[in-house]
Structure 1
Amino acid sequence: MGLLGHTVVQLADNIMVGQLGTAELAAVSLGNSFVFIAMSLGIGFSTAITPLVAEADGAGNKADGKSALKHGLVLCAVLGVSLFGLILLAKPLMHMMDQPPEVVELAMPYLDLVAFSLIPLVIFQAFKQFSDGLSQTRYPMYATVVANVVNIILNYLLIFGSFGFPKMGIVGAAIGTLVARILMVLYIWYLLKSKKKFHDYVTGFNFRDLEKKVMNKIISLGFPSALQMFFEVAIFTAAIWLSGVLGKNAQAANQIALNLSSMTFMFSMGLGVVAMIRVGNQKGLQNFKELRRIAQSIFLLTFFVTIVFATLFLWGRNWFPTLYLDLDSALNLSDNTEVVFLAAQLLLVSAFFQISDGIQVVVLGALRGLQDVKIPTFITFIAYWLVGFPICYYLGLHTELGSAGIWIGLLAGLTASAIMLYIRFNYLTKKLIVQS
């Protein structure tokens, strides 16, 4: 639920902005494509904190847990500011990507504010990963729930100009996102500080006393983890850009399917966090047989959960897209009808990759718990960019499949990733059991 909160912010923006028209929805999609890439690096990097805290917790070493949080906060703050700067530098690329001009014009001011919201978001992630490492996942969930309530209220007031507030369109959605993420950081810090179990961990920091060894450890785990998430998010971002080449309606349909798929993916990603925590605990105890048993149990649970989501997508693929658009609008009737038709096709493909997407992220979480990050990074690059992207490009732009072809490429990449990562986990855990 905590991870789902990040996606629900985008869901609220998409549904409420979609009432303005397909051009506005496509603009949010284009702007968020840049933010998603940066967010993947920030969230991926912050995951290095969880296995270190989980291992320290399993070994009963409180000092190491606090050290991981302190150094992680410093690195995440620096990374958040850097990502904001990089997005500002990358903005001119929008004009070079063969995107609809009206979409680019709308996306520019939206992107400025949402990019700035990455700074509090990445800092929040440091607190979240720390709390997860201590097996206390509910406090980040509370913070994301509060943030989503604030975001929806501000969206209603600022997008449509309700109750005398200025009507700001998609810029209003961006302001809502920024304010909600700032409050999210403040609220989780308040929650953790007020709990006796966490108080000593999250207070009394001396940020002038930083240890190079701990910084290097977090970077050595965080950088490959960031790349793993980047490779996956980047191929979905490429799907947004390829869809934009096909037109604003194809891009709007892609955004609807991507937003729905991202929501179900967060449940699997949450189970991936569970795998990372529990594997990290058992690594601290040096109990590798139990580590393997627990991880495989989580893999099986993920399989059952994704089967449910696949069935849901098959059942509702023609209805879900209608939630994002105003089908009663005579002005946009033709565009909206086409978007619903295209999105239904994409959700059909998405139903099938629910399983492979879920399995690959939960196995990746288990490998992070083992602090095995370098080889999985190469695996994700091969799966998404040597297998998935060429298929996306060819089927999407050079066959009649169009948007559906792009998503078939995503399915191929995710499936390749799931298979190769599981082979890596199976090999590594058997080796550790024999050695112990």
Structure 2
Amino acid sequence: GAGNKEKISRVSSQAIIYIVVLGMSVGILAVGLSPVIPIWMQADVEIRKQASIYFAIISAPMVFRASSIICASALRAVKDTRTPMVINLVANVLNVILNYLLIYTAGLGVTGAAIATAASSVIAGGFLFIHMFRKPILNCHFKGLRFDKLVYKETIGIGLPAMATSTTSCLGHVVFASLVSSMGTTVFAAHSIALSAETIFYLPGYGLRSATSTLIGISVGENDKDKFRVVERQSVFLTIGMMTFTGLMLFLFAEPIMAIFTPDAEVIRQGTRVLKLIATSEPLFGLMIVSEGIYYGLGKTKITFIVETIGSWGIRILFTVICVKILHTTLFEVWICMFADNAFRALAMAIPLFSGRDVKYFESRRKGML
């Protein structure tokens, strides 16, 4: 947004180091832990081997997954949102096609599904890296490539809390899934399918979060406070409106959606009940994710980390432990804990923004750039 071409080149070139270092380190760690992760999650003994193989295969090309995330962010930061969208769309379509061919035609089952996911990750990460490298405004290069202390310091200041947020969230989901899996195979099946079904309806919200984060960051770079306020307000209204609509669709068609995934009547019954519950929280969920996008655009990632940690561990997991281990409740009560987590995070992040602190955050970020 500020038009600082020299800094753009420095930051984009540093991205190459981040892709290799983070991708390889996380990939090696994930593959190394793949045999024990299903055990930690208390998965049934008969599926642990397949789960381990699946996780190892999808984790192997972690460098390409890191490339996909980092390069897409770099392209969006220079106002190219179309390229990441097209490449990810093609990769997802390829993933679906390969899943069918490898699971059913080749008869590879779970291994085939993992290979399909890994292959699509390689395609997306590879092509996004090529596009980032060829983008003139990014001026990305290998020449004299080494750690840039100034860029590294700023990246750590913003990126470390963001990484901690993602790590906290992922670990929270693992623990949450582990708690639900201890409730039995039928309950866990209903839980897993319902989560997958819900994902379809909130993915557009995450797309708007990425766009919001990019536009907020650009307005900060341009030092355009009016543009910042317009982007902030319109993003919130658009996201809440869209998530209200998708939540309504999810509520109305919860049972048919569950029936697409499984013929088991009990799984459908339990899944339908929790889907209708969580559908009513979609507007709040939309407020939460768009607020995250605003904070990311402002560089205030520490706030999202604090809220995520309290919501995930202090509300969702704590009360799920009480429900599962002490009260021995049903899946519905467990999803109420998830509902409460979403509501807390939405309000905890949105209230400061709309009580006047957003402008203070804007000005603080501007000072940090100078």
TM-score scaled by structure 2?
0.90
Aligned residue number for residue 173 of structure 1: 113
Asked whether the equivalents of residues 239 and 406 of structure 1 are also in contact (C-alpha less than 8 Å), the reply is: no
Q: Is the 8 A contact 2:68 2:124 kept in 1?
A: yes
CA shift, 1:86, in A, is 2.2
- What residue ranges of structure 1 are gaps of 5+ in the alignment? 1-57, 328-335
Partner of 1:431: 360
Deviation of the 1:73 alpha carbon = 2.9
2:11 to 68, 73, 76: 68
- Counterpart position of 2:282: 354
Question: CA offset at residue 350 of structure 1?
Answer: 1.9
Rate the CA distance shift 1:312–1:180 in 2: closer, same or farther, 3 A: same
1:380 lines up with 2:324 in the alignment:
no
For 1:86, the equivalent position in structure 2 comes to: 29
Deviation at 1:430, TM superposition (A): 4.1
Give, in whole Å, the separation in 1 of the partners of 2:363 and 2:121: 46
TM-score by length of 1: 0.77
8 Å CA contact 1:148–1:180 kept in 2: the answer is yes
- Check if 1:116 corresponds to 2:53: no
Aligned residue pairs, count: 363
Distance (whole Å) between structure 2 residues aligned to residue 150 and residue 118 of structure 1: 18
**Matches of 1:304 and 1:142, distance apart in 2:** 25
Shift of 1:200: 5.5
Q: Please, which of 168, 177, 184 is the counterpart of residue 124 of structure 2? A: 184
* Paired residues of 1:288 and 1:432 also in contact (CA < 8 A): no
Greater RCO between the two (CA within 8 Å, min separation 6)? 1
**Is the CA contact 1:127–1:189 (under 8 Å) kept in the aligned structure 2?**
yes
> Contact 2:19–2:66 (CA<8 Å) still a contact in 1?
yes
Unaligned segments of structure 2, at least 5 residues:
none
Letter in 1 for 2:2: A
Alignment of 1:21-420 (within 5 A): 58-91=1-34, 92-160=36-104, 162=105, 165=106, 167-192=107-132, 198-199=135-136, 201=138, 203-206=140-143, 208-325=145-262, 327=263, 336-399=264-327, 401-420=329-348
Q: Is the 8 A contact 2:285 2:342 kept in 1?
A: yes
Deviates more, 1:243-252 or 1:233-242: 233-242
Check conservation: 1:158, 1:169, Cα contact below 8 A. Answer: yes
Q: Could you tell me how far apart the structure 2 residues matched to 1:212 and 1:105 are?
A: 44
Which whole-Å deviations, capped at 9, do the CAs of 1:18-58 have from their partners, x for residues lacking one?
xxxxxxxxxxxxxxxxxxxxxxxxxxxxxxxxxxxxxxxx1
Mapped partners of 1:239, 1:349: distance in 2: 18
2:290 match: secondary structure: helix
Contact kept? 1:124, 1:185, Cα under 8 Å: yes
- C-alpha separation in 2, matches of 1:192 and 1:71: 12
CA distance in 1, matches of 2:141, 2:362: 40
Percent identity over the alignment is 21
Any conservation in 1 of the 2:61–2:118 contact (CA below 8 Å)?
yes
Contact 2:220–2:362 (CA under 8 A) maintained in structure 1: no
Letter in 2 for 1:395: C
Please state how far the C-alpha of 1:238 moved relative to its aligned partner: 2.6
Shift of 1:152: 2.0
Alpha-carbon shift at residue 82 of structure 1 (Å)? 1.7
In the alignment, is the contact (CA less than 8 A) between 1:113 and 1:178 conserved in 2?
A: yes
